[in-house]
Amino acid sequence: MSEKTATLDLGETKVEFPVHKGTIGPDVVDIRKLYGQSGRFTYDPGFTSTASCESKLTYIDGEEGILLHRGYSIEDLAEDSSFMEVAYLLLNGELPTPDDYDDFTRTITLHTMVHEQLRELYRGFRRDAHPMAIMCGVVGSMSAFYHDSTDIKDPEQRTIASHRLIAKMPTIAAMAFKYAVGQPTLYPDNSLSYTGNFLKMTFGVPAEPYEVNPVVERALDRIFILHADHEQNASTSTVRLAGSSGANPFACIAAGIACLWGPAHGGANEAALNMLKEIGHPSAIPGYIERAKDKNDPFRLMGFGHRVYKNHDPRATVMRKTVREVLGSLGVDDPVFDVALELEEMALNDDYFIEKKLFPNVDFYSGIILSAIGFPTSMFTALFALARTVGWVAQWNEMIEDPDQRIGRPRQLYTGPVQREYLPLEKR
């Protein structure tokens, strides 16, 4: 069956474009020839209607609240899988066999240590440095330590760099936490799971044995699954754009970390918990909801709204269930959770939020669990970056292997001054 086409009638010229069909989801109008044939650009600030690439990794249906990783629903993966299995799935396209799984997790485990000199970098930061500032700097510096995995044209080196990034993020994040609290860092413990090792490096101390709490380990592993990948979000697009210039993988992931830090993106989990603490009590919620609706007030309900989800964020649903499990298991009665539940209830019944299709997103509840486990709010986005590294790395590899791949170079609508004569300083 011949491919569908779309015609753009510009008056003096008509341009016909091929329309490509995905396996599921919206068709795309391939406008690559538009400028060459019409001398015009499209205009789409924020890329609300723009597909930047073809991908087989993650599918989101914002209207139905569906999230699939290589065809598997986030609900099934959160319930039955592990973060390492999801990492294998995103990188390789299929769920691992038991042998594949053992080989993969063993490979990741053997890369968890960082170069001994890289540990010295932390001493250059102030103790009160935000962990994301440290993550940006330390991950970017990895290209100064792992020269044998920076040649992006060599598939072998791409694989080693991918494994190093996934394996070392927990070590780097735990060291950022230890540096902030002034405690000695712990080396990785290869006898533990990926997530159990992270918990021990974060909360363990050399003076005491550390027992991983299996409920906390499972809950955190599930949180990592929920954050693993999310189509072409801002930080993933940043990684792809940086990678399109041929930059080394460590620099690309550092760029993704920088973008994720923004409060409109991954920084929202820290902002959401701070907001819930500021609200403090259900009785204060109506005032904050009014502020969120007030155009003259820059306040927004952090952890609410999403560019793509206009029905519900399936990750928030899983996260809310996990909050109950963790708080119940740890015997934590956190009044902030009551504020969160009441705020969600009131906002979801408010015409403004209904009309604008604003629902709790993945960041709304995650902070409550992370806080109950013992993480300070400043570590929340670092944990998001730890988990999203799997998605960033998978998307980066897919971009490098894409035959359509070219350097990303958007154009603009120019509204600045036309050419004008320069007047020397003495004549102005």
- Residues found near ligand SDX in the complex (CB under 6 A): 46, 230, 233, 264-266, 268, 292, 300-308, 356, 358, 361-363
Active site residue 99: no
Contact (Cβ atoms closer than 8 angstroms) between residue 227 and residue 387:
yes
Nearest-approach distance from CB 22 to ligand SDX, in angstroms = 18
Nearest-approach distance from CB 404 to ligand SDX, in angstroms = 23
Options 147, 363, 402, 404, the catalytic residue:
363
**Residue closest to ligand SDX, measured at CB:** 305
Active site residue 306: yes
How many angstroms separate the CA atoms of 200 and 204, rounded? 5
Nearer to ligand SDX, 118 or 273 (CB): 273
The residues that bridge with 360 in the sheet, in sequence order, are 304
Options 130, 265, 306, 313, the catalytic residue:
306
Nearest-approach distance from CB 355 to ligand SDX, in angstroms = 9
Nearest-approach distance from CB 298 to ligand SDX, in angstroms = 10
Nearest-approach distance from CB 100 to ligand SDX, in angstroms = 27
How many angstroms separate the CA atoms of 116 and 54, rounded? 39
- Contacting residues for 9 by C-beta, under 8 A, at least 6 apart: none
Nearer to ligand SDX, 152 or 258 (CB): 258
Nearer to ligand SDX, 58 or 141 (CB): 58
Nearer to ligand SDX, 222 or 230 (CB): 230
Nearest-approach distance from CB 48 to ligand SDX, in angstroms = 7
Among all residues, which ones are annotated catalytic? 306, 363
